[in-house]
Structure 1
């Protein structure tokens, strides 16, 4: 949904609209070609289809990079894209990121609340943002209690007047079930699994699940390593032509050292 002007925009609305569009466009143009095959598949599908998605991303596979591109692509088209995370550290890694509890006004005692709801009423500033947004990404959602996800779903349906899952907004969950699951006070492993979003009724409504498996560190360093090998071959050939005291030999050696430092 394209942003509409208001006579007195709220702080929440200004916060989600105050992005440098030329900078976002440059970020997208510079980084789209850096996506791995599995990242590109998720990026293209999510960008073109509305629904609830989950990105399974072990450490080092570029989850934050993927989410940042999705957010930038929406925002550069003057649309509202919300970035939330289950922890404060994860939230700081996303542009404009905040914790899920802060954005959705979730109760703190989710595990002890029978039917938790978000403390957001219709007509409020945050409700207006949720009504207008076209994309929501939730990083490290695997750490959150399933009740949080269900409360957000109920709130979005109510505020947006849409009974589709998540009120008809594109909703991207990302995380790694191999890491920390929801913390249940004095709970067992079984309690943690039961509280996981995989045990939620919404898990079966996930439109598509994506798996990121390519290590981004290796992927991005591949070109640098190839260039270093080429420089080594060039140096070996030049050694037979130019003496070590020549300017050409010194420059080749300098570039070689620089490439080694980059890798």
Structure 2
């Protein structure tokens, strides 16, 4: 369009990288400094015939930077850039070193599950031995290195969780939740021990308040920790990549479990009509991101249509490079088919269609959670909700349920202002919100705004003649 838009992000960045010892490995130390802080296009520019080492070039070398007319000492350029981008580096390194030397290692699993500790301890010891054996001094540039087994373990182990909180989380599982949890955990241990366990396909079913989300968090926490120690096919694999994927159909459902949407994770198109579209140039990027993934969790599975489920299966096969169902990954589907169905009248997974391949009916084992966990203090109300959950249109409510429902407040005027109100239309929602704001705040200020819109031809912002009416998620305009 005849112009280049300038990127305005000019804030100094914090660079985190492996630091070599200046005394033990001076060549690697100065090589890192030059590659990070001296502008260059190839490694050949970081040495000269008269200065054949990184250390010598750093100490006595001179270069002419683009856009300048004079030579400048290399060490002056490096020092200037380090001060700009590497804020408080010495203090950070000192704190990290002190933490590594003084921190205490606490192993709480023996208290949580003593019957399984004998299986786990040899596995941890074997992993520590492998860490020591795999240490290398000569490694490719810009890759993570490890010069001590403590650093390797620090990278591989997830962030520490409060042992008391962890113990409470697992102890709060009821009998059926614990069975699912330990089934997944045993599978992960076999996977780490290279016993090649078969894929599992679990469908965790249950009404509201039966602890489905809590169980997901427990499984994710333990499975991620164990699967991070799976032997990989390549020595330079990035162990920071996720081993357990938390997904859902909508952004709200994904946010509730700290996950991501299926469309975003697997780069799915908007239209799911066949034929299946490949990833094209994005395949290597997605394959690298999901290289370590062993388990995928799909929450609110009632909203997943048959076409979307088939797309997920095909996409995982493409990413993992295998024809096994879901690319060889184990799947945990969580949800309740009495809740929201797929959009646009699509068929839910539980509806069998003889004309199509039924991945759901063929593979998945249903496990139903029945014990109420959320409303333990009001079991009568929770049981009534579950009866309404399965009630048909023509079924008559029992007298006890009618009496319990009649105790609810029905007049809006009698409801507390801070209580959650549910309306059928957006118009009623806006009216209630405006009225509530007027009651809570007497001094209201109107702010007049000028609306601008970018001109696609020039890239410049143009003032609009009339206010721009935004979507439902934006501020209201009058």
**TM (normalized to structure 2)?**
0.38
For 1:143 and 1:19, locate their aligned partners in 2 and report how far apart those are by CA, in whole Å. Answer: 34
Distance 1:124 1:220 in 2: 51
Q: Does 1:201 align with 2:380?
A: no
Q: Which runs of 5+ in 1 are unaligned?
A: 10-16, 223-263
Larger radius of gyration: 2
Kindly report which structure 2 residues correspond to 1:137-216, keeping only aligned pairs within 5 A, or say none: 137-184=297-344, 187=345, 192=346, 195-198=347-350, 199=352, 201-216=358-373
1:71 corresponds to: 220
1:222-258 deviation digits (Å, cap 9, x = unpaired): 9xxxxxxxxxxxxxxxxxxxxxxxxxxxxxxxxxxxx
Counterpart check, 1:32 vs 2:167: no
Give, in whole Å, the separation in 2 of the partners of 1:28 and 1:39.
16
Q: Deviations over 1:35-54 (max 9, x none)?
A: 11221122222333432221
Q: Indicate how the Cα distance of structure 1 residues 57 and 19 shifts in structure 2: closer, same or farther if over 3 A, else same.
A: farther
Q: In 2, are the aligned partners of 1:83 and 1:138 still within 8 Å (CA)?
A: yes
> CA separation of 1:25/1:105 partners in 2, compared to 1, >3 Å: closer, same or farther?
farther
Q: Cα offset for 1:218?
A: 4.0
C-alpha spacing 1:85/1:40, structure 2 compared with 1 (3 Å): same
CA offsets per residue over residues 151-193 of structure 1, 9 Å max, x none?
1111222222332211221211111100111122xx4xxxx4x
CA RMSD of superposed structures (Å):
3.2
Structure 1 residue aligned with 2:210: 61
Rate the CA distance shift 1:220–1:153 in 2: closer, same or farther, 3 A. farther
Count of residue pairs the alignment pairs up: 202
The partner residue of 2:262 within 91, 100, 103 is 100
When residues 18 and 62 of structure 1 are mapped into structure 2, their CA distance, relative to the original with a 3 A threshold, is farther
* Residues 120/207 of structure 1: CA separation in 2 closer, same or farther (3 Å cut): farther
Any idea what the Cα deviations from partners look like across 1:12-71, whole Å, max 9, x if unmatched?
xxxxx9984312876543311111122112222233343222111211111111111111
Other-structure match for 1:83: 246
Structure 1: distance between partners of 2:260 and 2:209 = 22
CA contact (8 A) 1:135 1:170 kept: yes
Compared with structure 1, are the counterparts of its residues 170 and 85 closer, same or farther at alpha carbon in structure 2 (3 Å cutoff)?
Answer: same
Quote the Cα distance in structure 1 between the aligned partners of 2:214 and 2:318.
Answer: 32
The residue number in structure 2 matching 1:42 is 180
Match of 1:130 among 285, 290, 293: 290
SS of the residue 1:181 aligns to: coil
Gaps spanning 5+ residues in structure 2: where?
1-126, 128-133, 145-154, 188-198, 229-241, 380-478
Helix, strand or coil: the match of 1:133?
A: coil
Give the direction of change, closer, same or farther, for the CA distance of 1:25–1:123 in structure 2 (3 Å limit): farther
CA-CA distance at 1:121 after TM superposition: 5.6
Give the structure with the larger helix fraction: 1
